[in-house]
Structure 1
């Protein structure tokens, strides 16, 4: 019964897909195919933005997350404050940040101010996933490890390289995966934000998320759907080649509890 329903649903999906493909004129397919190289270039710009935001997020997660995990007083003060502030959706307060900083930031950065705001939106929408994951990972390190570092008097950098980072690596990979997913959401909002302020539209010249938003706004659904397909294929490929391998590596190699059992 279940197999029959699944086959029926699959058949309906395939029928709809084939019908859609056939209904699109050949000339339109030609336009979409010739559009693909520029879409890949725009996607490359977005992946560069994702890489920058991810790198900054990881650096903050490691430094601040470790500091709070080993300093109970600072942790009791800052963690509740951060949780309260981060519970506010970024699109609610982001226009206030832009309105406050745009007059002087545009004089300093010029046209790059738009790029800065896009990166900032992606950052505030996502960094806390990897931060809280790493913080929890450090707090989850067994007490035996901390006693070992004190007994053999490991230096800070050696302790980070040999104990803390490997132990918290599975947590950081899981958090980074969620961070990357949320960065795309932030870019989708920020790369084309009409009337963010009165008389000011936030947009960038290159970016697949900006292209998707603009085409959807202007009613060009075929180009928007094609860009979404290209984006989906690239993201799935990236997930298979990178994210899944990192998750497998974290599960197989960096399991801190095994060190306790081995001892």
Structure 2
């Protein structure tokens, strides 16, 4: 019996080796097939990559040629006039950044307080959220002249020229505040209910909740909402900084603003100044880390 056991044990070893080789063979063949078929795919991807590069180079050449043609065909007197307008354009840019900062700050403060109140009071939420949605659906240029007509007499009597700034900032605000408001409100609604229970059990005050829980917990929503708010605020400024005949023969106009310079130049047919201001503005946005406005180029009659 011991001899038979040794015989079968010795015969089993080569059988296991053969079975293992048979099981591994299809894997090796499949790997070889993949290796043989992969080079044609890589070649097609490289061809597409080179084609896209060629298109990009061609577009770059056309842009450089067009820019050089415009520069060389412009008269020196025109360049002297445009260069003399550089400082007013930069000053106007600083004013516009201050206006955008004011719009973003006011929108954020209102979103923090109003969003929390609506998120914690269901009856107010049932009325406030649809009402805000209805306001956001209306383009600001459609109803803002009515607000201007109803309040301009009192505001100009009380504030004088500062009323223009108030109107422009208000137009930018109503054009864009709902981005941060809805983002923050949705962030609060996304918080687990247990978080609110813990804050209630700890008797945390409103500002303590903001500092320790609500603002850190909704930070991704806040960043998204503020980015959209800042981006869209430029659209309201583009409309409001120079709005001829906003109510009858009255004109809404600020003293300083790069968008006002572009608006007035376009309205008067001074395409050279409008293009030069656009070039400086685009160069600044390209070199700065701040969000680039995506809506300020919309038409005057469109929604911001």
Q: Same fold (TM over 0.5)?
A: yes
1:27 to 77, 90, 93: 77
- Give the 4+ runs in structure 1 shifted more than 4 A: none
1:116 to 155, 166, 172: 166
Which residue of 1 is the match for residue 59 of structure 2?
A: 9
1:194 aligns with 2:251: no
Q: Distance in 2 between matches of 1:153 and 1:113?
A: 44
Q: Measure how far apart 1:120 and its partner are.
A: 1.1
Matches within 5 A, 1:1-263: 1-238=51-288, 240=289, 242=290
The structure number with the bigger radius of gyration is 2
Q: Distance in 2 between matches of 1:34 and 1:133?
A: 43
2:231–2:291: 8 Å Cα contact kept in structure 1?
no
SS of 1:126's equivalent in the other structure is helix
Q: Measure how far apart 1:243 and its partner are.
A: 5.1
Q: Distance in 2 between matches of 1:155 and 1:203?
A: 44
Q: How high is the TM-score relative to the length of structure 1?
A: 0.86
SS of 1:205's equivalent in the other structure is coil
**Where in structure 2 are there 5+ consecutive unaligned residues?**
1-50, 293-304
Which residue of 1 is the match for residue 40 of structure 2?
A: none
Q: Measure how far apart 1:236 and its partner are.
A: 3.1
**Where in structure 1 are there 5+ consecutive unaligned residues?**
245-263
SS of 1:125's equivalent in the other structure is helix
Q: Distance in 2 between matches of 1:231 and 1:140?
A: 38
Q: Measure how far apart 1:55 and its partner are.
A: 1.0
Q: Measure how far apart 1:188 and its partner are.
A: 0.7
Q: Distance in 2 between matches of 1:66 and 1:154?
A: 14
Q: Distance in 1 between matches of 2:190 and 2:287?
A: 32
Q: Distance in 2 between matches of 1:41 and 1:3?
A: 39
SS of 1:194's equivalent in the other structure is strand
SS of 2:221's equivalent in the other structure is helix
Q: What is the RMSD of the two structures over their aligned residues, measured on CA atoms?
A: 1.7
Q: How high is the TM-score relative to the length of structure 2?
A: 0.75
What's the CA shift string for 1:67-101, capped at 9, x where partnerless?
Answer: 11122221122111210122010000011111111
2:230–2:291: 8 Å Cα contact kept in structure 1?
no
SS of 1:185's equivalent in the other structure is helix
Q: Distance in 1 between matches of 2:132 and 2:267?
A: 35
